[in-house]
């Protein structure tokens, strides 16, 4: 099953986002790991923490990473570089927004979709919101 890693400056935010996904799409078994916040409780990200989360989330089927913004993305990109060569090809960083992308990815992963499909579903989630709201914020 495709695994998911949630990266955020805020551990609380990441956990709440995971709670939202499991609440909106109940009844699924998905390997979701959080890599968020600093161990002292402060805001920030740590690529080594992200690396460990990726390793835990992978069962051979690959991992999609959802990240918040700014240094969350930079740390995720740094983590990709630290991956062992065997794992790297099946780990991907989504450019979807965190919450929307996570819910879409979670549902797809829970339905047994592969990494490509899970990544595509995350990207589509952002599009769905744009379509709903239209070209100008209403």
CB of 129 to another protein, least distance (A): 23
Contacts of 80 (CB under 8 A, 6+ apart): 88, 91, 93
* Of 16, 19, 24, 48, the one binding another protein by CB under 8 A: 48
Q: Dihedrals φ, ψ of 97, to 5°? A: -60, 150
Segment contacting another protein (CB under 8 A): 12-20, 70-78, 88-96, 106-114?
70-78
Buried b (16+ CB within 10 A) or exposed e, 6-18: bbbbbbebbeebb
Under rule CB under 8 A, residue 46 binds another protein:
yes
Query: What is the edge-to-edge ordering of all strands in the sheet holding 32-36?
Result: 32-36, 3-8, 63-67, 91-93
Closest to another protein by CB, 21 vs 36, is: 36
CB of 81 to another protein, least distance (A): 7
Enumerate binding residues for another protein (CB under 8 A). Answer: 38, 42-49, 70-71, 74-75, 77-78, 81
């Amino acid at each position: 099953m495709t695994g998911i890693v949630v990266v955020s400056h805020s551990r609380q935010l990441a956990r709440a986002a995971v709670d939202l996904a499991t609440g909106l799409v109940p009844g699924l078994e998905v390997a979701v790991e959080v890599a968020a916040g600093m161990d002292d409780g402060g805001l920030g990200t740590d690529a080594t923490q992200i690396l460990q989360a990726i390793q835990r989330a992978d069962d051979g089927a690959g991992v999609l990473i959802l990240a918040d913004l700014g240094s969350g993305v930079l740390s995720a990109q740094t983590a990709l570089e630290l991956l062992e060569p065997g794992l790297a090809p099946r780990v991907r960083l989504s450019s979807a927004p965190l919450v929307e992308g996570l819910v879409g990815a979670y549902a797809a992963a829970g339905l047994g979709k592969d990494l490509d499909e899970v990544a595509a579903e995350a990207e589509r989630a952002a599009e769905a919101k744009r379509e709903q709201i239209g070209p100008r914020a209403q």
